[in-house]
Structure 1
Amino acid sequence: MPVAGNEAVRGERAVSVVGEVAPHGRGGAARWAGGGNEDTPHEQRRRRLAAAHPAHAVDLRLVTHHQLETLKNQVGVETFERLVQSTDPDTLKQIREYIPL
């Protein structure tokens, strides 16, 4: 694809490309001119999909707490306590800041 200045030429059509770093550290990909913060159907769909992603929709503390409670019920309280005691102290400290054990 021939490039003239900041225009990428595709067939008979020239598309203006602006090279800039995206806000919030999201990389230095080129952006198509006019594709800023427009509220296009594509952008609305993209935002809905991003909001529905499990990383944004799941409370990690609740899931982890539930998993630990399930483990405690499966192996018994004594074995669970031994597992907790054998955990790295720094890791255990960080876990206890967020999850009641």
Structure 2
Amino acid sequence: MGYRVRLTAAVVRNLAKMPASVGTRILDEVEALAQEPDPTRHVKKLKGGGQNPFYSLRVGKYRAILNICDDVLLIVVVEVDHRSRVYRKH
């Protein structure tokens, strides 16, 4: 039993633009996170966000911005990009 992972359309587009090795590594890290009993222990909570906070998963020089819904065991990947650009979007 683990968390399910959902990718937004923007994430799918960004992954397609990245080198294949980077995209595969990011997806592998998100899948590994989904198998953890408490995934919030392995990510950085971002400031703001209110009721549904955003989290940042570090994968080399890239970041995956996540929304973790514990009540339905779901991880939504909201954004994936290089660390120099990803935080400006949210």
Q: TM-score by structure 1 length?
A: 0.22
Structure showing greater relative contact order (alpha-carbon pairs closer than 8 Å, 6 or more residues apart): 2
More strand by share: 2
More helix by share: 1
Greater Cα radius of gyration, structure 1 or 2: 1
Q: TM-score by structure 2 length?
A: 0.24
